[in-house]
Amino acid sequence: MAKRLPPGQYPTESFPVLSAGPTPRVTNETWSFTVTTELGEARSWTWDQMMALPQQETETDIHCVTRWSKFDTRWRGVSLDAFLEGVETTADYVVAHSYGGYTTNLPLEDLLDDRAWIVHSYDGYPLSPEHGGPARLLVPHLYFWKSAKWVRGLQLTHEDEPGFWESAGYHNYGDPWREQRHWGD
């Protein structure tokens, strides 16, 4: 287990719920997901359209900036590769947008090659609203604030645009293995 635990983290069996504001209540019927290119071209999916895309199961460890780590979490969802297939872009960055107004920024390359998903199930059950349901971004190789809850879209950009927590002093990238918690780390 020690090889799986980034520095400064402690393992937990629980799954703490941390949010910056009230929990949005989005139904499957009203949920949609949109990818918008740097030129303003947009492609959108409804819940049913997302569920018709190839589904993947992934088991991974997750690490929160507040220092907890949870091993062997089990998720089901769609690789971001499926949403980005056929999208023509020269962008290097992404801003993830959530219902409720939350945003976070990521390099586009961190979302490709089955490294990130839009997940809708956790541990065999539909994702609860408290944990980001009906769907959240999952980017397990970065601190968990980068895995935006209640995700509704990705905006592709040429410039790196800090999101909610990054603008408040969290590290712009958030690598748990390098303890990138705050801007100066």
- Averaged pLDDT of the chain: 94
Count other Cβ atoms within 10 Å, centred on residue 130.
12
**What number of other Cβ atoms are within 10 A of residue 34's Cβ?**
14
CATH class of 31-178: alpha beta
d(CA 181, CA 161) in angstroms, rounded, equals: 17
Is the distance from CB of 143 to CB of 166 less than 8 angstroms?
no
The domain locations on the chain are 31-178
If residue 140 lies in a helix (H) or strand (E), which one and from where to where?
Answer: none
**pTM, two decimal places:** 0.94
**Contact status, residue 94 vs residue 107, Cβ threshold 8 Å:** yes
pLDDT for the residue numbered 20: 66
Q: What is the pLDDT of residues 111-156, one digit of tens each?
A: 999 999 999 999 999 999 999 999 999 999 999 999 999 999 999 9
Give me the helices (H) in 40-143, please: 47-52, 80-84
| Tens-digit pLDDT profile for residues 160-181 | 999 999 999 999 999 999 999 9
Output the furthest CA–CA distance in the chain (Å, rounded).
45
Q: What is the pLDDT of residue 43?
A: 97
What percent of the chain has a predicted confidence (pLDDT) above 70? 96
